[in-house]
Structures are given as C-alpha cells and as structure tokens.
Amino acid sequence: MRTDIRKVAVLGAGTMGAQVAAHVAGQGLEVVLLDIPSPAPDRSAVARNGLETLRKRKPSPLHLLENLAAIRVGNFEDDQSLLADADWVFEAVVEDLEVKRQLFARIAPAVKKTAIVSSNTSGLGIAAMTSQLPVELRRRFLGTHFFNPPRYLKLLETIPGPETEAPVLAAIEAFCDQWLGKGVVRCKDTPNFIANRIGSYAFGAALQAMQELDLTIEEVDTLTGPAIGRAKSATFRTADIAGVDIAVGVAAHLYDAVPNDPERSLFRVPDFMRQMVERKWLGEKTGVGFYKKDGKEIRALDWKTLEHRERQKPQLASLEAAQSVADIGARLNQVLAGQDKAAQFLDRVLTSTCLYAAALVPEIADDVVSVDRAMEWGYGWGGRAVSGRRAIGPAPRRDAPGVGPEALLRDGRREDHGLRSGRERTSARPARRPRPRRPQAARRPAQEEPGGQPGRPGRRLRASRVPLQDEHPRRRCLRHAGGRDQGGAGPLRRPGDR
Ligand SMILES: NC(=O)c1ccc[n+]([C@@H]2O[C@H](COP(=O)([O-])OP(=O)(O)OC[C@H]3O[C@@H](n4cnc5c(N)ncnc54)[C@H](O)[C@@H]3O)[C@@H](O)[C@H]2O)c1
C-alpha cells in the first residue's frame, strides 16, 4: 500500500471538515473541499463559506493565511471529478447514518481505485455505514476520528471496519502520525469508540454525583480540572465549548446504542440539560450554557433553578487543604482520605470511571494503554484513565462491579494487560518508507503572513499563529497542557525529518 498521500478530498465544510482541510493544507498538500450544492450563481457557496469561517476561528486552524487560497472548493453534484485523483477522501458531513451512507454510495464511482476513504463519525458504526458499498471499497474504508480543534488536539482514533485491509490502516496511521502530527489510537468499531465512550460515562457520573451530593457547577469544575491533573475546561466548560446539544446528543445516542451496558443509566440525560437545549443554551455557540458572559462578568448556572447567578467560591475543604501538595497522586490521596463532599465526589466519579474504563478495555480497544492515551490526548486527562488508578492509591471504596477490572487495578501487572512503556506504540507501524517530497509552497518562511514584497518580509504572525511544526516539541507540549507536561505527546515531525 502506498503511503504517499499528496491530494486529500474533504467532504463536508462544517466545523470539522473545514478545519481538517486547513490542517492538511498547512502541510503543503493539495486539498479540495466539497459540500452540498447551493442554488446558482455560486453552487459551491456552502464550501466557500465553510472555508471563510476559518479566518475567524480561535485558536486559528490555519498554519498560514495563504493556505486558504490553496484549498479548492466545490460541491457534491458538480465537482465529483475533483475526487478522481485524490489519494485520501475524508468525510465530515452531519452525524446522520443515512446521510453518510447515501453520500458514500454517490461518490464511490468517482473515487480512484487506490484511494483511502474514511469517515470522521464520532460514533456511528463503520460496518453499518459501509454495508451497501462494493467490497473492494470497503477494504479501503475506515473511521478516522479527529477531535476538535483538529489542528491542536493530538488524538486521532482510527477504526477499521470488518473488511479494512491492514496495509490501508497502517498507511493512514503513518500519514496522520508523520504528516499531521496526530497521536493515533486504534479503536474497535463500538459505539462512540474509546474517548467519547469513557468521556460520556465520566460526564454522566459527574452529573449524577453533583445532583446527589448537591454540588454547584463551579464546584464540579474545580474538582475535575487542573486540581486532578485534567484540562482547565474541566467538565462543564468543556461541554460549553463542545456544545450542550452535542453532549446531550452523544449521551442519547450512547444510551440507545448500548442496551446491554450495565452502567447505561448514566447516559440518561438529566431534565435540566434537556431544558437547556430547549432554551438554546447550547454553550459557546449561543453565548449561554453552563456559563454565561454578562458584560465582563461570567455567571454560572444554578442547575436547580435554571438561573445564571454570580459565580460562587467553591466550598471544598479537603481539596483546599491538599492544594499545596504538588504531586497529583499524593494530592488525590489526601483528598480521598477526607470525609467532605469533595472527597465523596472524587471517590465516586474517579473510581467508577476507572472501573468502567477497565471493564470496557477488551470490548473497545486492543489494550489498556490505548484507553489511557485516548483520554490523555483527546480529553486532556493527565491521570491515566485505567492504569493510573493505582497511582491514586487506595483501593476503590465501593463494591467493584467486576473482578476483572478490580484485579487489574489492584495488581496492575503491566505485561498482563498490554500496558507498555510510554514511548512504545500501540498500533502496528508500517516499515518506514520514503516520504513524498513536500510541495514547494510549504517551504516559504513560516512566520510571515502573505503580502510581503519580494525582498521584504511580510507581517509577522502573532505567537498563537506560529505554525506548530516550527515550535520546539517540548514547548508545544507544555503550551497544549497549559503549562503542564502531558507526557507522551511526541514531537510533531516535519515531513522529511527522520
Ligand atoms: N464538531 C465536533 O466537535 C466534532 C468532533 C469530532 C467529530 N465530529 C464529527 O464530524 C462530522 C461533522 O461534524 P461537524 O461538527 O463538522 O458538523 P457541521 O454541522 O459543522 O457540518 C456538517 C456539514 O455537513 C453538511 N451537510 C448537511 N446536510 C448534508 C447532507 N444531507 N448531505 C451532505 N452533507 C450535508 C453541511 O453542509 C455541513 O457543512 C460528524 O460526523 C461529527 O460527528 C464532530
């Protein structure tokens, strides 16, 4: 299987499609971006508008402003000929199984016989999506699930379908690792794959514990953020960024898709969140969610009254007492030894999430380390989702729901559970092959905006827009982790580097 992907066709110019197109174009590859047709005169207005939104997005998905001009736009009806020489066709249209199935059936004859075809679905089955396609296309088809924002979040989940050929999988994984700087985690074709399955569980567990222990939104975010080695956006700020409607949709989809999951009830969305969606309190996209900006002030939702009130200082004595403990494992141990709501909340949420993740390993992943990496690279969980429970220390207080994961957590025998050293790869890697030559356009000085006269440099890009591949890997890791080293985030290699 060739690995020299030179041209990428992106189907769908929405949030994800346009950003992935920009990231690929930022590596100097040829990109076409197609979407549904509009009425004349501009039949490709949807894709063109999708491209334009990239200028305003923060953090910027563009490596260089000139990458915009390098992306050719079109529509699914008039421009299928642009697919004929694409080496990778990447689909990112609405999360609707029937829409995706119809689109793939429509474009299948236009795609070349050696092209890799993939879907960015967040959790629809790859097998279900492709069952109507010719078998020779199913062999070149897989799921490639980027996380938002795709330029910045390291995780890429790859999901082979039942007929995906090993060299196809290896080729796209190598390309995404080496050219796009992704941390690839291979998943099994199960609902919501790895990160969103466990992330949804943790969200449900946090919601349930918040309601039972009568905590506030701010208290939960304080307990699930940097204090326990996780991203600053914690639980509810993350939901506001992703979209409250998306969080509700993902949970509802999971509830229906996993009828035999003993923990399924946690995916049932609480009433107050359904009401938020009805009121269009969808988070950042509507300006109101769990938090609401009011002039310069940020107000927080009181989930019991559905009013946004002044933010309250969290009352979490055991966490406050442990704040000065630098080591996160030791800090957690100290909090968990407490008796207050903070201790009870963390004990419930962390223990049940670790046990759930551990119990799911054989179903959703090849090994434990894949689950740890997915949660670290996709959700910014510094502590390890499964194996890290031992680092926290005390055995789970409540009755463990299964001997397998409990034994795993207690014994933690790395070799028995496929847990390898941090640097070792989980997925089979292809032998190194000669890289494609990087197109000329990508070699121009990286820190300059277009518009400079010959012999005169263009305007300097602001620091936040310095292309990632020109940044020292260690600095990049630290910047992504908000000053913390997330560990394992390997260097983003430049094409041509060894
Ligand atoms: N938004 C995220 O954070 C995120 C993260 C990871 C994965 N995903 C997945 O990526 C995919 C795209 O999500 P998004 O957030 O970019 O969606 P979006 O709503 O922003 O964009 C979807 C695109 O699909 C097009 N579309 C609408 N109806 C269509 C139809 N009938 N036929 C063909 N195209 C149609 C729209 O014109 C639009 O450009 C989904 O599968 C989603 O689950 C989204």
Domains and CATH numbers, the chain: 7-186 (3.40.50.720), 195-412 (1.10.1040.50)
Which residues fall within 8 angstroms of residue 353, CB to CB, at 6 or more apart? 198, 201, 202, 205, 385
Contact present, 319 and 222 (Cβ < 8 Å) = yes
Q: For residue 243, which atom of ligand 1 is closest to its CA?
A: 3
Which pTM was predicted? 0.79
In the block, tokens 């029937």 appear at 98
Q: Could you tell me the distance, in angstroms and rounded to a whole number, from the CA of residue 65 to the centre of ligand 1?
A: 23
Query: What's the confidence (pLDDT) of residue 394?
Result: 37
Cα–Cα dist 176/53, whole Å: 24
Residues 241-274 pLDDT 10s = 889 998 998 899 999 999 999 999 999 999 999 9
Quick check: CB of 199 below 6 Å from ligand 1? no
Q: For residue 146, which atom of ligand 1 is closest to its CA?
A: 6
- 458 compared with 146, residue with greater pLDDT: 146
Quick check: CB of 99 below 6 Å from ligand 1? yes
Q: Could you tell me the distance, in angstroms and rounded to a whole number, from the CA of residue 236 to the centre of ligand 1?
A: 23
Q: Could you tell me the distance, in angstroms and rounded to a whole number, from the CA of residue 292 to the centre of ligand 1?
A: 26
Quick check: CB of 46 below 6 Å from ligand 1? yes
User: In which band, very low, low, confident or very high, does the pLDDT at 383 lie, cut at 50, 70 and 90?
Assistant: low
Query: What's the confidence (pLDDT) of residue 488?
Result: 30
Quick check: CB of 222 below 6 Å from ligand 1? no
- Long-range Cβ pairs for the range 49-56 (8 Å, 24+): 49/13, 50/13, 50/14, 50/17, 50/18, 51/13, 51/18, 51/21, 53/18, 54/18, 54/19, 54/22
Cis? peptide before 59, omega within 30° of 0: yes
Quick check: CB of 233 below 6 Å from ligand 1? no
The secondary element (H helix, E strand) that includes residue 299 is strand 297-302
Residues 64-87 pLDDT 10s = 999 999 999 999 999 999 999 999
Instruction: Give the phi and the psi of residue 170 in degrees, each rounded to 5.
Output: -65, -40
Q: Could you tell me the distance, in angstroms and rounded to a whole number, from the CA of residue 121 to the centre of ligand 1?
A: 9
Quick check: CB of 149 below 6 Å from ligand 1? no
Contact present, 15 and 148 (Cβ < 8 Å) = yes
Q: Ligand 1: which of 10, 16, 119, 379 to mutate, most ligand atoms within 8 Å of CB?
A: 16
**Residues 70, 72, 78, CA angle at the centre, nearest 5°?**
170
Residues 159-212 pLDDT 10s = 999 999 999 999 999 999 999 999 999 999 999 999 999 999 999 999 999 999
Per-residue pLDDT at 483 exceeds 50:
no
**Residues 120, 126, 128, CA angle at the centre, nearest 5°?**
130
Alpha helices in 291-420 (DSSP H): 317-322, 328-336, 341-364, 368-379, 389-392, 403-411
What DSSP character marks residue 364? Answer: H
Average pLDDT over residues 116-139: 96
Per-residue pLDDT at 125 exceeds 70:
yes
Quick check: CB of 118 below 6 Å from ligand 1? no
End-to-end CA distance of the chain: 20
Query: What's the confidence (pLDDT) of residue 202?
Result: 96
Query: What's the confidence (pLDDT) of residue 285?
Result: 87
Query: What's the confidence (pLDDT) of residue 498?
Result: 29
Query: What's the confidence (pLDDT) of residue 167?
Result: 96
Query: What's the confidence (pLDDT) of residue 231?
Result: 87
Catalogue the E-assigned strands of 147-223.
Answer: 155-160, 183-186
Q: For residue 242, which atom of ligand 1 is closest to its CA?
A: 3
